[in-house]
Structure formats: C-alpha cells, structure tokens
Chains A and B, each alone.
Chain A
Amino acid sequence: MVSSEVLIEAHGLTKKFDDFLAVDHIDFKVYKGECIGFLGPNGAGKTTTVRMMYCFLPPTAGELTVAGLSINKQCREIKSLIGLAPQEDNLDPDFSVLKNLTVYSRYFDIPKSEALKRANEQLKFFQLEEKRDVPIMALSTGMKRRLIFARALLNQPQILLLDEPTTGLDPQARHLVWDEIRHLKKQGVTIILTTHYMDEASALCDRILIIDHGKIIEEGNPGELVKKHIGEDVLEVDYDEKLEPLLKRAFPNARIERLGDRLQIFTHEPHGVFEGFLKEHALQNVTIRNANLEDVFLKLTGRGLRPE
C-alpha cells in the first residue's frame, strides 16, 4: 500500500529551546500509506518532531511540509487533514465522554447528526459505550488513552499522528489499538507513531527512525535493522568468570555483553550457531532467543539512563 508519493518531508529541521538543541537538522520523508515509527530514548526529540508536524511548535530552522503544505504558513489546512493523539491527556475535563467527541467534531465542521454517528461508532469500537455520559475525571488512564485515539479518528484523517498511543494501556486495549492501526493502514492512512515499545514498532511499522540527541541515527525496516545490527540468534547465560573466555574463544566474532549477572552473546552467524557449544558445555539458565529490535535499540543508543 506504500506509494512513492511523499506526504511529509523535512529538510534540516531544527528546534532549539533556549540552549538545548532538541531536534538537530534532521531530514526525513514519509511516503503515502506508510506506517513510520519514531523510536528514541526519553528526551531524544521524537515528540518535538511530531509537535512540529501538527504546527504546535514552530521550528527554529529548516523546512517541513505536510501533504505539500508548509507548516509555517498553512497550519489551518494541515490541521484539518490530520488526526492527532497527543501524548498528554488533553481531553476537556468539563464535558462527558460523548460531548468531548461531539465538541471536537465541531472544530472540523462536521454536522451534528454525522458527528453523533461517528462518535457512537468510535465509542462502540473502543468499548467505551458504557462510559458515554461519564465525566472525564471518572475514566481510568487506559480509557482516556482510548478516548484520545477515538477522538483522533473523528475527522477521518488521511494522516494520523500518534504520540505514544499505547502507553499505560493493558494488553487487551493495546491489541485493540493495534488492530485499529492495522485496519487504518489497510485503508491507506499514513501513520506516524512514536513509541517506547519495541514490539509495537516491529509489529506495526513499515519503517522506523531511531532518534537520539535530536539526530536520526538509523532508519529502515525493523526486520532488516535487526539482521543488519544484531543477526539471527542471541544467547543468554548466567555470568561466570570462567565462561567468558570460553565464549570468546568459541565465538571470536561475536559481541559479548554483560548485563548485571547475565551475559548476552550477539553474533551475525546464521541460525543454530550456539547449539554445538551448548552440547559441549553444561550450562545453567541458558536461553537462545531471536534477536529483536530492542537489541538494536540498546546497541545504538546505549544502556545509560537519560535525564528527563
């Protein structure tokens, strides 16, 4: 479904807050019908980038166009095209659940009967029907997140910006949101997603951009990135002083990392490379698992914690 038509394009996009460079001259393209994921540690610049896309923050320098419209001059047109689920809860606390949706529809000139119809459909899909007339205060975090997502779909957008849509959701609700994202993708909606969940990015995104310190450090298809940076298999064993040199001898090309009391061995060699070693040495607590996006992410962005 991904076409070659460029929908969102950034050139040298930069955002500076006083002395802090949040987004540092980034270039990227988003194609029509694509689901693109922005990954990065806290404070890497994901949300800032997305906020510039919906004209919430003016960029310090650079160019950004959404559907051919400049974010500096044509905010109104852009805002009418996109659906937005921001990270923070910005539901209207003065209104009930349904009223939140109908008031929001009004901003898009959706007639009242149509707004009511769409709102009820969304409530039904996101299993919030029973909460129709409940004030926002009485909703749980997960319900709020679902309502924010439902609200983003009211204007039937062609571009959907989802800033951490599943943070704080239980697994059931998460899968509901994933299903809806997949469904929208099939309909040709372009989706921009930021997330901290690597499984979410692998499951949904056609392409991911890993951002750190305001720069894009890697981009590509999730599966290809895993192959490129990590390989096929990862061996995990309990840490043992004697074991480390043994492993180093057996897998000279592998990257061995100690994580607390566990050792992780990453190798680019094909599937099944560890089996011979395991037969020779009786090891305890051994796991061979598939390499995943989290390994890539941690390799590229390091293990250090980020100041918020």
Chain B
Amino acid sequence: MTSVNIRKSPAPFSIPKLSYRVWHVWRRNFDVFMKTIRVNFLPSLLEPILYLVAFGFGLGGFIPDINGQPYINFLAPALVAIAVMNGRFLSAHLPLSCACTSKKPSTP
C-alpha cells in the first residue's frame, strides 16, 4: 500500500465547474435578501436620493454647464453606478469577510 498520490492544489484562478444547482444557492441568497429587505435594500435606495438632493440642489446650484452639459447629467448616472457597486460589493464581501475572520469554517 505504498501508492500514495500527492494531490496538487488546484490553480488559484481556475474557472469552477458549475452545475445547475448554483440556482439553489442563488435562491437561498435571494430568500435572505427578501427577508432582510428593510435593512438591505432601503438604505441603498435612500442613499443616492440623499446625495442627489444634497449635491444636485446644494452643490449643483454653484456649478455652471460644462461643455453644454448640466451638472445633474453627470451626477445622476454616477450615483446609480455607485449605488449598484456598493450594494453588490457589500453583499458579496460581508459573508466572505465573516467567513475569513471567524474561526469556524462555514459549511456546506
């Protein structure tokens, strides 16, 4: 019984072979999202609106058109982009950082 095969660790950036069951994992995350919608979704909806008001009316009043474009045309899409980026980043990184810092490995 000396046939010992040394397992090579997989390449760090290999593409995972996914099965259709990723759908179940997505459904689990979706269920959590729907359950925690008040703390998850509302703040990230309100935040850009707040910025839109503050920068649009407040700061925007002092900024003239640049190359014929009003400041709001620059601001609004940027806020949408930031909201999307922040929301996704947080929901993806929070579980990860919890899993990395806590001593317990989380399965399955």
Contacts and interface: CB of A to CB of B under 8 A. Distances in A.
B31 A72 contact: no
Interface string B72-108: 0000000000000000000000000000000011111
B38 interface: no
A25 B2 CA distance: 10
Contact of A103 (B3, B7, B28): B28
Nearest to A72: B7
Interface string B33-58: 00110000000000000000000000
B21 A90 contact: no
Contact of B107 (A14, A60, A86, A109): A86
Given A11-B3, A62-B4, A76 B19 contact: yes
A79 B104 CA distance: 20
A99 B106 contact: no
Contact of B32 (A25, A58, A84, A94): A94
Contacts of B24: 106-107, 109
Contacts of A88: 104-105
Contacts of B107: 54, 56, 84, 86, 90
Q: Main SS of the interface on chain B?
A: loop
B14 to A, nearest CB: 14
A90 B31 contact: no
Interface residues of A, number: 29
B66 interface: no
Given A88-B105, A94-B35, A106-B28, A27 B7 contact: no
A60 B7 contact: yes
A12 B6 contact: no
Contacts of A94: 31-32, 35-36
Interface of A: 11-12, 14, 25, 27, 54, 56, 58-63, 72, 76, 79, 84, 86, 88-90, 92, 94-95, 99, 103, 106-107, 109
